[in-house]
């Protein structure tokens, strides 16, 4: 039986595969262009290594691990690594990521590479670049893009070879930010004047939202801000993306929250409030993130690690915050 090649040899194959892949991407992107895309050359010395900030500056923030078809144990290690990284336990995060990376998980290789790029030692950052190259060669799309910024390095981490937990110096933790001071939500009397000024046929739907929102533990002022931005209290509204009714539920969201008749105002509002409650829990009461997810989907917020860079979504979030005025959802509302 043929023995598998050693990991170092596989790493070299990975770099060769990534060079080929990047060349194909560059050729596709530069078709018809006046000048060819630049060719990336491997950089094998620590002297040419970018600083941690330069190496990671152009990379998007890391969100929660995506759902994949990988073995459940690999997914658990990656999720445990992400949770540890969020708590600032970088050595534990590296151990979990490396455990999955040894079994060929490209997601784990990518996340371990990103973590190593932030190390304060040159060798660690070289290993981070090597890990990104491995993940890219395995078809990880974000790793392919990352390698375009970081380049390559010939430095296989010991943890992949031996299974030993990574050991490295951890930067001093920054001072904990001060607890956010709760900002005042738009006053109730201001919202009541807003409702009173609506045309009668729309005022009734604003009052419906006002009545139902507390049953879902949603501040009705936030719910009104969403309904105003979504349909301007028009129960017959239909968007180009087939979002329907007062809260503009797309068919998938309507089905997800049990709305059978999306043009029934009360059913539509109940479905929208259920979704808002779920988003507020998902994003720890962050009004901007919950609003962005309502507009673009929670997957987009996770993918971009915050408010997606879509003009429509950014304008939408701005409208919600301008109405509600506070960055954090308040429950129960304080009069």
Residue numbers annotated as active site: 230
Q: How far apart are CA 148 and CA 58, in angstroms?
A: 10
SS3 content of the chain, % helix, strand, coil (to 5): 60, 0, 40
Length of the chain: 335
Instruction: Please tell me the number of Cα atoms within 13 Å of 214 on its side-chain side.
Output: 6
Least Cα distance to 206 among 269, 259, 258, 288 occurs for: 269
Dist. CA 105–CA 64, nearest whole Å: 16
Q: What are phi and psi of 142, to 5 degrees?
A: -65, -35
- φ, ψ for residue 91, nearest 5 deg: -65, -40
């Amino acid at each position: 039986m043929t023995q598998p090649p050693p990991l170092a040899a596989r790493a070299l194959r990975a770099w060769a595969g990534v060079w080929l892949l990047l060349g194909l991407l560059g050729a596709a992107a530069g078709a018809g262009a006046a000048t060819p895309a630049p060719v990336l050359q491997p950089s094998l010395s620590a002297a040419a290594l970018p600083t941690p900030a330069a190496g990671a500056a152009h990379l998007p923030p890391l969100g929660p691990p995506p759902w994949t078809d990988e073995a459940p144990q690999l997914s658990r290690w990656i999720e445990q690594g992400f949770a540890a990284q969020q708590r600032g336990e970088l050595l534990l995060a590296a151990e979990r990521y490396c455990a999955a990376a040894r079994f060929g998980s490209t997601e784990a290789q990518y996340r371990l590479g990103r973590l190593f790029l932030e190390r304060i030692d040159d060798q660690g950052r070289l290993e981070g670049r090597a890990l990104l190259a491995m993940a890219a060669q395995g078809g990880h799309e974000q790793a392919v893009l990352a390698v375009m910024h970081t380049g390559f390095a010939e430095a296989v981490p010991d943890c992949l070879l031996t299974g030993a937990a990574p050991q490295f110096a951890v930067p001093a933790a920054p001072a904990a930010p001060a607890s956010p001071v709760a900002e005042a939500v738009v006053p109730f009397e201001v919202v009541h004047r807003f409702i009173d000024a609506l045309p009668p046929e729309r005022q009734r739907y604003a009052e419906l939202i006002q009545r139902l929102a507390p049953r879902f533990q949603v501040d009705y002022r936030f719910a009104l801000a969403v309904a105003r931005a979504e349909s301007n209290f028009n129960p017959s509204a239909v968007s180009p993306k087939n979002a329907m009714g007062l809260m503009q539920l797309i068919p998938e969201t309507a089905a997800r929250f049990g709305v059978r008749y999306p043009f029934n105002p009360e059913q539509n509002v109940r479905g929208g409030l259920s979704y808002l409650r779920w988003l507020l829990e998902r994003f720890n009461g962050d009004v901007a993130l919950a609003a962005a997810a309502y507009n673009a989907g929670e997957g987009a917020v996770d993918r971009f690690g915050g408010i997606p860079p879509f003009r429509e979504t950014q304008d939408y979030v701005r409208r919600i915050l301008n109405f509600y005025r506070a960055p954090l959802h308040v429950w129960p509302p304080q009069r």
